[in-house]
Amino acid sequence: MQVSPCSNCSYPTATVLYPAEVALPCDTGNGSSARSTTAVPSVDIDASGSKDRSGRAFVNVTWTFLNASSAGGGEASANSLSVLQAAINRTNALTSITKRLLLTLQPTELSTLEIGFNYTLQVTVASWLGTSASKEITFAMTSAATAPVVKITGPLLQNFNIRTGIRASAAVSVSCGGKALNWSWSGQNAAAVALLRSSGATTTSQQLFIKGPLSSVVHGQTIPLRVSARYTDSAKGVEPVTADVTFTAVGSDPVAKLSGPSGDWPETSPLVFNATTSYDPDTGGASSSQSLTYSWRCSLADGSSTPCFLTSQRGDSTTTPGVWTIPAGLLTSDTWYLITVTVSKAAALGSTPLSSTSTITFRPRSAAKPFPQGALSRACSLAGCSGLHSTDMPLMLSLLLDGNSGSANVSWSCAAVPAITNQALQMQGSTGTSRMVVIPASLLPTNLPRITITATMNLNGVEGIATLTVGLNSAPYCSLDASSPLACLSLDVRNDTAPYATIVARAVGWADSLDDQLRYEFGVRGGNSSQDQMRTRGSATSATLTGLPAGAWEIYVCAIDTQGSRSCTRNNVTVKPPSASFDAAKELASLDVAATSKEI
């Protein structure tokens, strides 16, 4: 066999998160001979959001220094350039290609870079196919004496779910210690302005939360926002600094819910399939089904092309939208059929159509010899079963036998998952005509969109079958190493000693076959608690964890999709106790505590 290289190979995408301005604190001027570096934070230039469309890890990552320029046309000092090149060389020399995606400029390096210059770097990512992509970034060195430096938490282009709303946050990169800030959020187009006004959201805080569902927003719509900040004691006429972020609305697929005959069904009884309980999770309420449309399909369950109906009669699927009634006698006895309903909702022009399907498998059967019957369904909370079942959770099923079949023996199976047997299930008891079983999450496949569960009822040697098709939502997985999720958690210990221990945790390489709107939860476990302590949750792929006391700690990250399925991994760090000379009272007295949020 001859293997040829691809002729039209896909290219990776290089994405970089970085501060447009890097400011030195106002108490560390260039002219000071005793220039402090402890107040200068390190700066991350983060390319971990870069992606290869194949889902594979990059084979190489390289950083390059391009130039340094200033408005006055001067040249940066050789010392500044050599320090910046040294940071690039240090990053390019890392053995782990994943770690090379992060270029960190340490405080001592930043304090050496000259103020008033723009520094331009480039990152190049190479895929396993031999293709590559590059991204240039430019940051300016400034001083925070007149204005702080603020940035958006997370990417500058973010998605949000219409049903859950918008969460935005800003962070202070550098400011004058102890100075309070005024904050303000504003919309940058008519839709964003109207949304802020109608939502009643607080816009004078460092964080912004617009509660969902946002019924006025449609799938694919963009909401550009701007956050402004300035010192509360700024001189008159000093403009606030700003940072922009654009949110794109992501609508939820409608939840398709189909009820009707399943398994064995008397051939003399009409068939009524009802999908009117389907709904749009973006709107909720009793009217959420009014904007939905339905299309129906009947096929043979064995996949053959033989038509379901042998005459022109198809029953009635138009009189009542979402209901398909098929009179008795139109289908062939002892043949398994598959009914599929596709539920669709309106979407903005040019946006991806939003739809979902639900299926029922049944077999018309002669009623000349009575057979046991039962209805099989998912067992959920009082709120009911919504959406797909998450494969990281056990699946509970309820079988309700008819009055004459209460003493039937029931065996459980699934053609797609042979491991699902009576012995593998957790029986939750049998009372009269009710049977409850639980399928452990470990038996649920993560590579199938749905499975059909079969309950075979045996009563006095006569068998009857009840079936249920359950849509599945697999949890996110680590694309760097599916067998070891730890590969998708990166820990950077900036300071390993209490009380200033600082650990930057990053989620890298998480993916989901059905979802690209992942959220990340970061937290710790240790100290006097055996429970996870969540620190942050949101779209940001990194979190800075501070304030950990001395001792052993577990740092964890969970990748969570829009359906709530999650995958987690964790790693250990040890925080050292402070030195014997550490004076807690002196350090506490040196703090300059001031309010950080006031209304403009």
Structural domain includes residue 589:
no
Distance from the first to the final alpha carbon of the chain: 71
The share of the chain scoring above pLDDT 70, in percent, equals: 90
Number of domains comprising the chain: 4
Structure token digits, residue 407: 């003493």
Task: Give yes or no for a contact between 507 and 559, defined as CB atoms under 8 angstroms apart.
Answer: yes
Give dist(CA 153, CA 534) in Å, integer.
Answer: 18
Domain check: are 407 and 496 in the same one?
no
Give dist(CA 296, CA 318) in Å, integer.
Answer: 10
Domain check: are 468 and 364 in the same one?
yes
Residue 287: how many other CB atoms lie within 10 Å: 10
Task: For residue 135, name the pLDDT band (cuts at 50, 70, 90).
Answer: very high
Asked if residue 290 has pLDDT above 70, the reply is no
The C-alpha torsion from 560 through 564 and 565 to 571, rounded to 10°, is: 40
Range of the domain at 518: 477-582
Read off the pLDDT of residues 536-551 as tens digits, 9 standing for 90 and up: 888 788 888 988 999 9
Amino acid, single-letter form, for residue 358: S
- Domain end, chosen from 123, 144, 165, is at 144
Domain check: are 508 and 417 in the same one?
no
Give dist(CA 450, CA 16) in Å, integer.
Answer: 37
Give dist(CA 356, CA 253) in Å, integer.
Answer: 6
- Phi and psi at residue 183, to the nearest 5°: -125, 150
Task: For residue 592, name the pLDDT band (cuts at 50, 70, 90).
Answer: very low
Domain check: are 281 and 418 in the same one?
yes
Give dist(CA 217, CA 222) in Å, integer.
Answer: 9
Domain check: are 104 and 154 in the same one?
no
- Domain end, chosen from 445, 473, 501, is at 473
Domain check: are 414 and 507 in the same one?
no
CATH code, domain carrying 286: 2.60.40.10
Catalogue the long-range contacts made by 186-194 (C-beta closer than 8 Å, 24 or more residues apart). Answer: 186/225, 186/226, 186/228, 187/223, 187/224, 187/225, 187/226, 188/224, 188/225, 188/226, 188/244, 189/222, 189/223, 189/224, 191/217, 191/221, 191/223, 192/223, 192/224, 192/225
Task: Give yes or no for a contact between 409 and 454, defined as CB atoms under 8 angstroms apart.
Answer: no
Domain check: are 102 and 138 in the same one?
yes
Per-residue pLDDT averaged across 582-587, rounded? 67
For the four alpha carbons of 93, 99, 105 and 106, in that order, the dihedral sign comes to negative
Would you state the pLDDT for residue 180?
85
SS3 for 493-512, per residue?
EEECECCCCEEEEEECCEEC
Read off the pLDDT of residues 48-96 as tens digits, 9 standing for 90 and up: 888 887 778 899 999 999 999 987 778 888 999 999 999 999 999 999 9
Spatial CB neighbours of 591, under 8 Å, sequence gap ≥ 6: none
Structural domain includes residue 563:
yes
Structural domain includes residue 257:
no
Structural domain includes residue 312:
yes
Domain check: are 290 and 417 in the same one?
yes
Higher pLDDT, 120 or 407: 120
- Domain end, chosen from 129, 144, 159, is at 144
Domain check: are 139 and 156 in the same one?
no
Query: What does pTM read for this prediction?
Result: 0.63
